[in-house]
Amino acid sequence: MSDGELVTRTLTLASPEETHRLGVRLGGLLEPGDFVGLIGDLGAGKTHLVRGVAEGAHVPRSEVASPTFAIVYPYSGRIPLYHADLYRLTGYDDLYATGFMDLVGGEGAVLVEWLDRVPEAAPTEHLRVTLAHAGGDARSLKAEAFGVRSVALLTAWLP
C-alpha cells in the first residue's frame, strides 16, 4: 500500500456492547501521538466508543465516569488519553485558547468528539471514525486512516 492511499473500513454495530468491544480493542492499540477524530450525530455512540477505548487502555473506570464541564478530559491508563468534546466550540480560535493543541502529537493519545466542528484540530496523521444511526440499536461505523501510522492502526484494529 502506498503512503498516499486512503484506507477505509465500514461495518455495522448491532448493539452498544459491540461498539464497546470495538472500542476496547482500539484502546489496546493506541500509542502516544495517535489522534482519533469522532464524527456523528447526537447519540450516535461517540462517547460510548471512547468509554470502550478507555477500558482497553486500562483507564480506571472511575476516571471516565467523573463528570466535568471541561473541553478536554485527561485520563491516565497504559498511556495518557485525552478525551475532548468540541460540541460547544465555535471554531479554531476557541479551541486554541483551551491549550488543546499542545496535547496533539504529545505523550498521550487524543480522542476528539465532534471533530467536524473544528476540522483544523486534526493533524495530517489521524484516524477519522464516523458513526451513524442505522435503525434501533444499530450503528454504522466508517473509519478512515490518514497517514502511515493511522493506516497501521486501522488495519490492526479492523483487519
Ligand X SMILES: Nc1ncnc2c1ncn2[C@@H]1O[C@H](COP(=O)(O)OP(=O)(O)OP(=O)(O)O)[C@@H](O)[C@H]1O
What residues make contact with ligand X under the rule CB under 6 A?
13, 15-16, 18-19, 40, 42-48, 113, 137, 139
Grid cell at residue 144 = 478512515
Least gap, CB of 84 to ligand X (angstroms): 11
Q: Which does 42 bind (CB under 5 to 8 A by kind): ligand X, Mg ion, none?
A: ligand X
Least gap, CB of 155 to ligand X (angstroms): 22
Least gap, CB of 5 to Mg ion (angstroms): 30
Question: Which one among 9, 47, 137, 147 touches Mg ion, defined by CB under 5 A?
Answer: 47
- Give the range of 41-49, 52-60, 123-131, 143-151 binding Mg ion by CB under 5 A: 41-49
Identify which of residues 46 and 126 has a Cβ nearer to Mg ion in the complex: 46
Q: Is 86 helix (H, G, I), strand (E, B) or coil?
A: coil
Q: Which does 117 bind (CB under 5 to 8 A by kind): Mg ion, ligand X, none?
A: none
Asked whether 7 and 37 are in contact (CB, 8 A), the reply is: no
**Residue 46 in the binding site for Mg ion (CB under 5 A):** yes
Amino acid at 5: E
Amino acid at 52: G
- Helix ranges (DSSP H) in the chain: 16-27, 46-56, 61-65, 92-97, 148-157
Grid cell at residue 13 = 454495530
Give the C-alpha separation, 134 to 50, whole Å: 19
Least gap, CB of 157 to Mg ion (angstroms): 20
Strands 126-133 and 109-113 come out as unpaired
Binding site for Mg ion (CB under 5 A): 46-47, 113
